[in-house]
Amino acid sequence: MALYSEKVMDHFRNPRNVGVIEDADAVGEVGNAKCGDIMKMYLKIDNDTVSDVKFETFGCGSAIASSSMATELIKGKPLSEVRKLTNKAVAEALDGLPDYKMHCSVLAEEAIHAALDDYESRTGKKTE
């Protein structure tokens, strides 16, 4: 049995939406103080919808795959829906993660929520 599902390996080898949005409307950066992984999400928001998203990640295969999958899940989605994104949804979309790698999907959820928080503080709008 391989360490990761084929989907994780696909998103790890060919990460979607990698990079930076220089004029992002929202940026969220989170880190897992214990394991050391760091994730950064850049969002472009138009009409309360995520029109573009990019990420940068310092971390293991599942951290990179989780970031990539999370960007796919939120791209084109209204903020109210993005707010509801859970780590479970990210892990499930990846056909599962090993138990000891679940915290990578948590990091993806947190990075997106941090970006939404940033958007709220920049604009005064609510994303709930």
Asked if 104 is an active-site residue, the reply is: yes
Which of 5, 15, 83, 102 is in the footprint of other proteins by CB under 8 A? 15
Specify the residue for token string 């209204």: 78
SS3 27: strand
Contact between 128 and 121 (Cβ < 8 Å): no
Select which of 24, 104, 114, 115 is catalytic.
Answer: 104
Site string for other proteins, 50-89 (x = CB under 8 A): -----xxxxxxx-xx-------------------------
Contact between 66 and 105 (Cβ < 8 Å): yes
Size of the site for other proteins (CB under 8 A): 27
- Residues 18-37 touching other proteins, rule: CB under 8 A, are 18-20, 29, 32, 34-37
Asked if 60 is an active-site residue, the reply is: no
Show which residues are catalytic: 35, 104
